[in-house]
Amino acid sequence: MAKDKSTEGDGSSKGHISQVADLLHGLASFAWPLLAVIIALMLINPVRQAISSRDLSVRIGEYEVSIQEVADQQGDLIESIRKDVESLNSRVDSIEGKDSTTASPSESPPEIESVLWVDDYPPNNALLVLRLTEADISVTTARSTNEALDKLGKRSYSYIITDIGRVEPGETIKNTEAGLEFIREVRKFDSVTPILVFSSRVGLVGAEAKELGANIATSSSTELLRELGLGAASR
């Protein structure tokens, strides 16, 4: 009888051990997803801080641009397209019912091979510069008025693009009329090359820029691309 009790005890112990093993196995399989969630929660703030501090970056052409800057530029382009669509709808409404035979044929834009783009922070325009280079338009950048004038003294360009306010070398405060001064200087020796002002401040200085010799003043990315022959009918 003692032998039977011992055998019975061994069977009971083995049953308990098997149950504990199953429990541990179940906990182990549950622990990995739980650990992954914990790690993900721990990384949320560092990732968020890295993005907000612009530590993450991508290379676009020759520029190293932060993820936040790319998002900002994409947002600006989307907003520009939205405004263009609204403007197009207004134009369609205004000409509705008019005789289409009276419309004059549109002229093809001149071939643009090269652009001098003046901006004290070129990465601001990285996506637009990429679009131009993809269309086989050579883009030369200059960060200051003097650098741009020096480049213009060495060769000609199909088009000149300039911002308005920029921090010139040797200065610590932004010159809010740097672009206007640049246009004035260019028109002293070059009255032919088209100049496009690309700035968020065109509402304030656009008219003055045109009086000084700029051909177009805009804050619209899509209008800039259209002017360079890269609109809906881009090559």
Is residue 117 left, alpha or beta, with left meaning phi > 0 and alpha meaning psi from -120 to 50?
beta
The DSSP code for 187 is: T
The ranges assigned to domains in the chain are: 11-53, 111-227
How does pLDDT run along the chain (235 residues), one tens digit per residue? 545 555 555 555 555 556 655 655 555 555 555 555 554 554 455 545 555 554 566 666 666 767 666 666 666 666 566 566 655 555 555 555 544 444 344 455 568 999 999 999 998 899 899 999 999 999 999 999 999 999 999 999 999 999 999 999 888 899 999 999 999 999 999 999 999 999 988 889 999 999 999 999 999 998 999 999 886 444 4
0.75 surpassed by pTM: no
Q: Which residues of 145-168 are buried (b: 16+ CB within 10 A; e: fewer)?
A: bebbbebbeeeebbbbbbbbbbeb
Tell me 191's DSSP state: S
Structure tokens at 205: 């200085």
Tell me which CATH code domain 111-227 carries: 3.40.50.2300
Place of tokens 């019975």: 8
